[in-house]
Amino acid sequence: MNKKLRKKIITAIAYTSVCLLGASALFVCTAESLKEPITALLDGQASLTTIFSQEGNDLLSSKRTSKNVSQNKNAEKSSETEKEAGYTEGLNYNYVEVEDENGRVIDKYYVLRSIGKSESEDIVIPEEVNHIPVREIHPFAFMNNSKIKSVVIPKTVEVIGKDAFKWCANLESVSIPKTMGVRVDEKGKPLDGVIDEGAFSHCLALKSITIPTNVKKIHDNTFYMCYALEDVNLHNQIEEIGKEAFARCLNLPSIMIPSKVSMISDGAFYYCQGLKSIELSTHITRIGKRAFAGCSSLTEVELPNTTTVVDKYAFAYCDGLEKVVIPEKISSIADNVFAACTSLKNFEVSKKNLSFEEIDGNLYTEDKKTLVQYAIGKEEKEFTVPSYVECIADAAFGLDDSLESVTFENGVKYIGDNAFYGCENFANVTLCNTILQIGENAFRNCYALEMLVLPIPRAAEILEVPVEPSVEMDIFNYAFRWCHNLEKVYVKGDYKAWKLKVNLGLLTKMEDVDVYYYSDVEPTEEGNYWHYVDGVATAW
């Protein structure tokens, strides 16, 4: 709005039982700025006797005259009109005037402030109060009201404020006009209708919603946790869907993203467990963090060719997801995008894609140096990490309950965080000599793991002498935590060759684990040592 224009709340229509308004009730309102302040405020207030200003003066004083009686009659007449028209009585409003730079009133309207004294379950908001339009529903207006079951919003309303109906747990039906009231800027240009952040969040019983055609943005959390929501009509003028806008809408079966939406915001459809199909527009360029995470009913995802970036956890924990189609232009897939997709059997990558490649159903970077995601739904018991792979991405094998062993060919240097987290049937792990780093929680919760063979530190292997290496292998916290059956750790290389942090950072909660160092001859000194017997690591 033009800075030269001023909005003033002239009156708040209060309850009939109010008898006193305190010093802060009209905060920042001076006696000079309150045009017709008292007579308007007294509309229907037979018991109101005192209004204090910031200075402590009684603004009411002698202004309560016969004019107040007239106002009361008008209020009664307005109430009767509302009743006859089927509108809800007793709602609480603010009256607002807009002035230009010269103090001339150029607009006036009402803001629905709260449910007031109404106890109705079915709210019908009037288009006008005393022939002045109702244009806004105030933030928090009906918040935490568990009584109301339906709301009819008139065509004059331009703005539904933040959290206006939040936690209206029994609200089943909301009727919004096809087009909300149209505001204009100082140049007369129409402005978009607004359904603000969290407006209908936690409306647990709400089953359907149609977005007005002049609303172009679904704000953050607008329909968050609307458990019963089954039908959402998103028109093609919508340009943005905010963060967690539909998160935890458990019964939403399908969604079609409008053609003008270019990004799916973080968590937009997070944990929509009933979501079976998504139709992404051909203009989507980015899919945000956790955008569809936890959508356990999704079975297939085909990303549009316009998409270039998929952020962390975008489809994580979609445990019904079996197939992912990756188009030509995707250039960035973050770690953990498909983490814990326990039914995932296959990636299909466009042959024109210059960033990624599919091998045996698994997803690699185009240069094959990073194994981005293993298709853990294939139910294979063994897997060999090829020598051309240098990095196993975060959570690449996480929660695979079929694999019993993985062989690492020399070449692998980095094992990411949570890479094998929760692989419950791993019996033993022998790491290759090229390993430089094992990430946090890399083998955590591998309950069946009984034996771990750690490689020679890279520098010691190169020097081929038992000296303290200049480069140590990093094993980050909790790398093998909760591996309850793990009793022995066999270290390739003697004690001096290892600058191993034998808290093993790693072996937290593994106080009973014994660390063995390699010796090809039977040692004479005290300590734990091991050697190979017919290719099997064996303690001396």
Condensed to tens digits (0 to 9), the pLDDT of residues 462-501 reads 222 222 333 345 555 566 665 656 666 766 655 554 544 4
Cα atoms in the Cβ-side hemisphere of radius 13 Å centred on 359 = 18
- In this predicted structure, the answer to whether residue 39 has a pLDDT above a threshold of 70 is no
More confident residue, 65 or 538: 538
Res 431: pLDDT: 80
More confident residue, 15 or 406: 406
Res 513: pLDDT: 63
The whole-angstrom separation of Cα 99 and Cα 331 is 53
DSSP 268: T
- In this predicted structure, the answer to whether residue 382 has a pLDDT above a threshold of 80 is yes
Q: What is the mean pLDDT of residues 385-412?
A: 93
Q: What is the mean pLDDT of residues 65-84?
A: 38
Q: What is the mean pLDDT of residues 11-22?
A: 42
- In this predicted structure, the answer to whether residue 93 has a pLDDT above a threshold of 70 is yes
More confident residue, 201 or 33: 201
Q: Please tell me which of 345-349, 445-449, 459-463 the model is most confident about, judged by mean pLDDT.
A: 345-349
Give the percent of the chain with pLDDT over 90.
Answer: 54
Tell me the per-residue pLDDT of 269-289, one tens digit each, with 9 for 90 and over: 999 999 999 999 889 999 999
pLDDT-derived band of residue 402, with 50, 70 and 90 as boundaries? very high
- In this predicted structure, the answer to whether residue 70 has a pLDDT above a threshold of 60 is no
Res 35: pLDDT: 41
Res 467: pLDDT: 26
Contact residues for 370 (Cβ-Cβ < 8 A; gap 6+): 364, 389, 390, 391, 392, 393
Statement: 379-540 belongs to CATH 3.80.10.10: yes
Q: What is the mean pLDDT of residues 194-220?
A: 94
Instruction: Check if the beta carbon of residue 260 is closer than 8 Å to that of residue 281.
Output: yes
pLDDT-derived band of residue 42, with 50, 70 and 90 as boundaries? very low
pLDDT-derived band of residue 418, with 50, 70 and 90 as boundaries? very high
Res 440: pLDDT: 84
Res 455: pLDDT: 65
More confident residue, 127 or 519: 127
Res 241: pLDDT: 96
The whole-angstrom separation of Cα 190 and Cα 472 is 65
Res 459: pLDDT: 32
More confident residue, 166 or 88: 166
Res 157: pLDDT: 94
Res 524: pLDDT: 81
Mean pLDDT check: name the lowest of 33-47, 124-138, 315-329, 488-502: 33-47
**Residue 423 to residues 359, 374, 427: CA-CA distances in angstroms?**
22, 13, 10
Mean pLDDT check: name the lowest of 56-60, 384-388, 534-538: 56-60
Res 242: pLDDT: 97
Q: Which residue, among 477, 474, 497, 500, has the nearest Cα to 489 in the 3D structure?
A: 500
Domain range annotation of the chain = 1-103, 379-540
Q: Which residue, among 339, 329, 481, has the nearest Cα to 419 in the 3D structure?
A: 339
Tokens linked to 231 = 């039908």
Contact residues for 165 (Cβ-Cβ < 8 A; gap 6+): 141, 142, 143, 145, 151, 171, 174, 199, 200, 203
Instruction: Check if the beta carbon of residue 334 is closer than 8 Å to that of residue 319.
Output: no
Instruction: Check if the beta carbon of residue 270 is closer than 8 Å to that of residue 244.
Output: yes
Res 8: pLDDT: 57
pLDDT-derived band of residue 17, with 50, 70 and 90 as boundaries? very low
Res 477: pLDDT: 58
pLDDT-derived band of residue 77, with 50, 70 and 90 as boundaries? very low
pLDDT-derived band of residue 94, with 50, 70 and 90 as boundaries? very high
Q: What is the pTM of this model?
A: 0.77
Q: What is the mean pLDDT of residues 255-268?
A: 96
- In this predicted structure, the answer to whether residue 121 has a pLDDT above a threshold of 90 is yes
Beta-bridged to residue 359, according to DSSP, are: 362
Tell me the per-residue pLDDT of 503-533, one tens digit each, with 9 for 90 and over: 344 444 445 567 777 778 888 888 788 788 8
